[in-house]
Amino acid sequence: MDGLPEFYAGNSVEIVASLPCYTEAGVDTVRGRGAFQKSVRALRTSVQAPESTHVI
């Protein structure tokens, strides 16, 4: 994933993500243990470029 945040920011890429529930327990129940934390970590890594500041 090296360089992807900068690529996304430089090309105005918008990342849209969806989880089956808003709670960690709910997501892990549906997608398996640890899925919520892995998803959040992946999203945070994806938006670490300075230009990518709009996170909802």
Q: What is the pLDDT of residues 3-42, one digit of tens each?
A: 887 888 888 888 888 999 999 999 999 999 999 999 988 8
Radius of gyration for the alpha carbons in the chain, expressed in angstroms and rounded? 13
What's the structural domain count of the chain? 1
| Whether pLDDT at 2 is above 80 | no
Q: Is the pTM of this model over 0.85?
A: no
Do the domain assignments include residue 56? no
Domain that holds residue 32: 4-46
Query: Which pLDDT does position 38 carry in this prediction?
Result: 93
Residue 51 lies in a domain: no
Is residue 53 included in any domain, yes or no? no
Provide long-range contacts, Cβ within 8 A and 24+ apart, for 17-22: 17/43
Q: Locate 18 and state its tokens.
A: 């969806």
Which has the closest alpha carbon to 47: 21, 1, 22, 35?
1
Dihedral sign, Cα of residue 45, residue 47, residue 51, residue 56: negative
Is 55 among the domain residues? no
- Per-residue confidence (pLDDT) for residue 37, from 0 to 100: 94
Tell whether 34 is covered by a domain. yes
Residue 54 domain flag: no
